[in-house]
Each structure stands twice: as C-alpha cells, then as structure tokens.
Amino acid sequence: MKLETVLAFHPHSKPFWEAAESGRLLLPLCGDCGKSHWYPRPFCPHCHGFGLTWKDAAGEGTIYASTLMRRAKEPYIVAAVELDEGPVMLTNIVTPDFSQAGIGARVKVGFDYIGGSDRKLPVFHPI
C-alpha cells in the first residue's frame, strides 16, 4: 500500500512515517494518562483521551510470539514484539538465523523497504 493511501485513511500517523524515513521509531504518548500505545490512533485506547503527542522509543523489545512463514517464496518471520515502553508491535524479524527469533529473544528496531513497500517499515533484528 502506498504511503499516500495510508495517510488518506490514517492522517494522524503522518509523524510516525516521517520519523521512520529518518530511522526513528515514534510512539504515540497520551498526555492525559501518560501511557504509550501502538498502533497510531486519533485517541488513546487506554483512557480515550485526545491529548496525544509523539515520543521517541528506545527501539528495543522482547519477542512475545513469533512464527516462521515457511511456505513463502522467501521464508520470513512474523512476530509480536513487546517494546520496552510497553506496547506490542506486529512486525518482521530480519535474521539469517531463524533460531534467534524465539519467544523471549531481545531485538532492536531497524527500518527497511520490505515487501515492495514505497516507505521504510520498522522491522526488528536480534541483539
């Protein structure tokens, strides 16, 4: 999906995509309850507040769940990564050694044009 299409439906996510292009992972932060969340929404899913800002995430987390997509032309790993800030992000784990992508493994964010994307997407690499 092209970025302009994403922004047509989710204009509130624009700061995230701009930061991703420069290799920064931003998380929405609620000024009302102080919690971060993922994915970007127009309001906070914890308290329904609208006082959202953005903050830089540390970019590290722990694999909560993962699966290897073996039947793909080029096998890849899909994982739920629990960021150190708390939110869980559905993402890809990029590694030549699939054994490093098990539950509990520590990972660090990187940004890559994967799957024919016209924009950089956050992916994670084992630390």
Nearest approach, Cβ of residue 49 and Zn ion (Å): 4
Sign of CA dihedral 70, 86, 18, 52: positive
Nearest approach, Cβ of residue 51 and Zn ion (Å): 8
**C-beta closer to Zn ion: residue 12 or 46:** 46
**C-beta closer to Zn ion: residue 49 or 102:** 49
**C-beta closer to Zn ion: residue 30 or 83:** 30
Nearest approach, Cβ of residue 86 and Zn ion (Å): 12
The secondary structure of the chain, three-state, reads: CCHHHHHHHCHHHHHHHHHHHCCCCEEEEECCCCCECCCCCCCCCCCCCCCEEEEECCCEEEEEEEEEECCCCCCEEEEEEEECCCCEEEEEECCCCHHHHCCCCEEEEEEECCCCCCCCEEEEEEC
Nearest approach, Cβ of residue 12 and Zn ion (Å): 15
**C-beta closer to Zn ion: residue 2 or 41:** 41
The residue ranges that bind Zn ion (CB under 5 A) are 30, 32-33, 44, 46-47, 49
Tokens of 59: 């970019």
